[in-house]
Amino acid sequence: MFQTDSQSKTQPFLDLLRLPLIGSLLKQRHARTLLQIPLFVISVAMILHGLFGPQLAPRNLATTLTWVHFRGALILVLLLAGNFFCLACPFMLVRNFARKFFRPNRNWPRYLRNKWLSVGLFVLMLFVYELFDLWASPWWTASLIITYFAGALVIDSVFKHATFCKFVCPIGQFNFIASTVSPLEVAVRDHDVCTRCTTKDCIRGVREPAAPLVVIQRGCELALFQPRKVGNLDCTFCLDCVQACPHDNVGIISRVPAMELATAPMIDTMRSGVGILSRRKDVAALVMVFAFGALLNAFAMVSPVYALEQSLARRLGVTIEAPVLAIVFGLFLVVEPLLLIGAAAWITKVWGRSNNSVVALAVRYSYSLVPIGFGIWLAHYSFHFLTGLFTFIPVTQAAVAELGSAVLGQPQWTLVGLPVNVVQVFEVGFIVLGLLGSLSVSYLLAASERMARVFIPWAVLSLLLASAALWVMSQPMEMRGLVLGSG
């Protein structure tokens, strides 16, 4: 987290790397690899089962682990800790292995060094998820996992640094935005130590003393220079900086969630590897997709969406889903957010008598939507995770039995998870938590600019999103592939 000089030696409530067991484990040189290997093995099992196993989603490891457990565990870890799934990313294990044999020598094109491509890929991912009913298709899910592995491997084999993570990976972008509300951050312990540091190994990497061009420990591949790093944006928690720092001055430190979005000094600060957040239209667009995509993704699982799609199909006279879905996406991910954010920004300009343009204000205050977006994703994913918590057990039992082994016994198909009515209480709690977060961020942003009353339009917008999410969560869930014209 950004620290002023007076705060340079503030003791954090918690530094994960200073805890007895977990700290010494994470500081091991091969800690990341040790965490990646189990996820890689599980990924391979998911791919094989997805391609060759039963094609009924609830009985397949690819669909069960991806859409129930991975997503749920990922968002809960982001809520309770930080971006630890990027730390344990199995795609990077394969990529790191490949880089032992050939080194990329190209730089990612300058015009792509922003989030616009990843905004498009994030939307595409959400679109493909609905169009091909990925949640219902083990084969497509396995193909998606293979695509991720192939994408990471190809892109990072051609282009230097962590190009795939920083500019391409939709999961990574989701984690970057979501981790701004996480309670932990990879950060400098004492800024005075950095001031006196002459080697800057956290960014340059540790060099072979006799051969300065040979890097024996990478520095940050995402161009985040620790002393000027602010917040969790673009940080994969890879811990390269921790390994590289010769002064043991980088920790995984507790902080106030979302504060990195919440004040004018924070979003107007030049962040290493990120720039000035209040000027990043591409990051704001990513936030917009993150927040409104959360609602759309949840909306797509309840009954009213089918009525809407059928109605649109009848009006258009089409029987294929893609154009109908494109219109729904256009309405919910482009028209609706632009109208609502635009209106809130315009009111901000008028009420605050601001000299900034409506677009600049929209960018600035759109960051207040991260917590409510996070709350909606959390409510949605934790619903599947908690109601299907134990389903990986019978699916694994069945997968092992298919291999001819009875070692795990007969599949216990009655093992499911928590009752829906219990989980719904959590869902409401998560949405309310997200709403409170967004209200706090927008208030602090407005107050730090001495324009407290412009908090109101952004509070109304967050309240609208929260109300819509609560309405969606109260609707009966419906799972089906859309057959247009079938009523």
Partner 1 sequence: MSYQVSPQPARVGDVTITINMKDRSERPIAGASVKLEGNMSHAGMAPVIAEAREIGPGHYQAKMKLTMAGDWDVLVLLTLPDGSEADQEFEIKNVAPV
Q: Within 10 Å of residue 467's Cβ, how many Cβ atoms?
A: 12
- Strand, helix or coil for residue 186: strand
Q: Which two tokens stand for residue 478?
A: 């419906």
Quick one: 160 or 480, whose CB is closer to partner 1?
A: 480
Of 260 and 309, CB closest to partner 1: 309
Minimum separation from the CB atom of position 45 to partner 1 (A): 15
* Strand 211-217 to 275-276 pairing: unpaired
Quick check: 380 binds partner 1 (CB under 8 A)? no
Which span (156-164, 185-193, 271-279, 475-483) binds partner 1, by CB under 8 A? 475-483
Question: What is the distance between the alpha carbons of residues 48 and 68, in angstroms, rounded to a whole number?
Answer: 18
Binding of residue 481 to partner 1 (CB under 8 A) = yes
How far is residue 154 from each of residues 103, 113, 114, 172, 240, measured CA to CA in Å?
A: 12, 17, 19, 17, 22
In the complex, the smallest distance separating the C-beta of residue 78 from partner 1, rounded to whole angstroms, is 20
> Where in 272-379 does DSSP place strands (E)?
275-276
- 60 lines the binding site for partner 1 (CB under 8 A): yes
Q: Which stretch binds partner 1 (CB under 8 A): 105-113, 244-252, 263-271, 382-390?
A: 382-390
- Contact between 85 and partner 1 by CB under 8 A: the answer reads no
* Out of 95, 115, 191, 384, the residue judged to bind partner 1 by CB under 8 A: 384
Q: Which residues contact 294 (CB under 8 A, 6 or more apart)?
A: 373, 374, 376, 377, 380, 469
From the list 26, 35, 57, 345, which residue makes contact with partner 1 (rule: CB under 8 A)? 57
314 binds partner 1 (CB under 8 A): no
- Single out the residue of 99, 417, 432, 460 in contact with partner 1 (rule: CB under 8 A): 417
Per CB under 8 A, 232 contacts partner 1: no
Give the Cα-Cα-Cα angle 415, 418, 419 (nearest 5 degrees): 105
The torsion region of residue 341 among left (phi > 0), alpha (psi -120 to 50) and beta comes to alpha
One symbol per residue from 131 to 170: x for binding partner 1 (CB under 8 A), - otherwise; what is it? --x-xx----------------------------------
CA angle 74, 78, 83 (to 5 degrees): 90
416 belongs to the binding site for partner 1 (CB under 8 A): yes
Q: Which range binds partner 1 by CB under 8 A, 19-27, 50-58, 398-406, 426-434?
A: 50-58
SS3 271: strand
Stretch of 96-104, 107-115, 168-176, 471-479 contacting partner 1, by CB under 8 A:
471-479
Q: How far is CA 177 from CA 82, 403, 466, in A?
A: 11, 41, 18
Residues 6+ apart with CB under 8 A from 100: none
Q: What is the distance between the alpha carbons of residues 167 and 282, in angstroms, rounded to a whole number? A: 11
Nearer to partner 1, 138 or 183 (CB): 138
Residue 386 CB, nearest distance to partner 1 (Å)?
A: 9
Asked if residue 422 binds partner 1 (CB under 8 A), the reply is: no
Residues that bind partner 1 (CB under 8 A): 56-60, 63-64, 67-68, 133, 135-136, 303, 384-385, 387-388, 391, 395, 413-414, 416-417, 476-481, 483, 486-487
